[in-house]
Amino acid sequence: MDAVDGGEKARTMRGSIALSAALVTGLLAGVACVAWLASGALTSLNVAAVAAGDVDIGPLVEDPSFLGIAARNLSVAGLLTAGIPLLGIPTLLSLPVSAMIVGFTGASVVASLGLPLTLDRVSAYIVFELAGIVMAATAGVLPTVHACRQVLGRPRARFAHGYTVAIPPALGVGLIGAALILLGAAIETAAISALT
C-alpha cells in the first residue's frame, strides 16, 4: 500500500513539474516573441551601430568574465526562484521582464549580425542558459502549481500540505537550473574569449 501510495505521489509531483515547466516555457516564449516583434527601434539603433563599423561584442556584454556573466545570469535565476516561498509571485512578475529582455536582445543581435552569425556565436551556450532560466522559473512556481493540483484533484487535500511537500523538489529543480546557467556562463566566456 505504501509503495503504491509513494508511486502515486511521485507521479503527481512529476506531473506538477511538467505542468510548471510548460507554463513558464509558454510564458517565456510568448513574451519573448512579442518583444522580438515589437523591437523595431532597438533593432534599428543596433543595425546603425553595425553599419558604422561597431561589430565588437563588447557593447553586448559589460563584463565578459565568467564571474560577470554568471553573476548576471544567476541574479535572474535567483529572482525567478524567489517564488518558491512566496506563492510564485516574484516568478510570475519577473519572468515576463526577463522574456522581454531575451526577445529585445535576440532581435537586436540577429538584425545586426544576421541569423547565421548569431547562431554561430551563441548556439554553444544559449541552450544551457535558457534551459537554466526555465528550470529556475519552474522551481519558482512548482510549490503553488503542485498545491493547486492537490486541492483541485482531491476534495480533502490541504493547500499548505501540497505546498510544503513540493518545496524540496522545487529547490532541486532550482539547483539544476543554476548548474545549467553556470555551464552556459563557462561556455559563453570561452566563446567571447575566442572572439577577442
Evaluate if residue 59 carries a pLDDT over 50. Answer: no
What global pTM score does this model have?
0.82
Q: DSSP E strands: which ranges in 5-156?
A: none
Domain hosting residue 38, numbered range? 2-195
Strand, coil or helix: 38: coil
Alpha-carbon distance values, 93 to 11, 83, 96 (Å): 29, 9, 7
Q: According to the model, what pLDDT value does residue 141 have?
A: 95
- Torsion angle of C-alpha atoms 138, 139, 142, 144, degrees rounded to 10: -110
Count other C-beta atoms under 10 Å from residue 52's C-beta.
8
In tens, the pLDDT along 23-54 reads 888 888 888 888 777 766 656 666 666 555 55
Q: Which residues contact 177 (CB under 8 A, 6 or more apart)?
A: 77, 80, 81, 131, 132, 133, 134, 135, 136, 138, 139
Radius of gyration of the chain from Cα atoms? 19
Evaluate if residue 58 carries a pLDDT over 60. Answer: no
- Torsion angle of C-alpha atoms 41, 132, 191, 63, degrees rounded to 10: 70
Q: According to the model, what pLDDT value does residue 89 have?
A: 94
Evaluate if residue 56 carries a pLDDT over 70. Answer: no
Query: What percent of the chain shows pLDDT beyond 70?
Result: 86
In tens, the pLDDT along 75-125 reads 999 999 999 999 999 999 999 988 888 888 888 788 878 899 889 888 999
Q: Which residues contact 13 (CB under 8 A, 6 or more apart)?
A: 146, 165, 166, 169
Quote the number of domains for the chain: 1
Evaluate if residue 1 carries a pLDDT over 90. Answer: no
Nearest to 31 by CA among 115, 111, 105: 105
Average pLDDT of the segment spanning 154-165? 88
Q: Distance between CA atoms of 153 and 122, rounded to whole angstroms?
A: 43
In the predicted model, what is the mean pLDDT of the chain? Answer: 84
Nearest to 59 by CA among 67, 51, 49: 49
Cell of 61: 556584454
Q: Distance between CA atoms of 187 and 174, rounded to whole angstroms?
A: 20
Evaluate if residue 57 carries a pLDDT over 50. Answer: no
Q: According to the model, what pLDDT value does residue 63 have?
A: 75
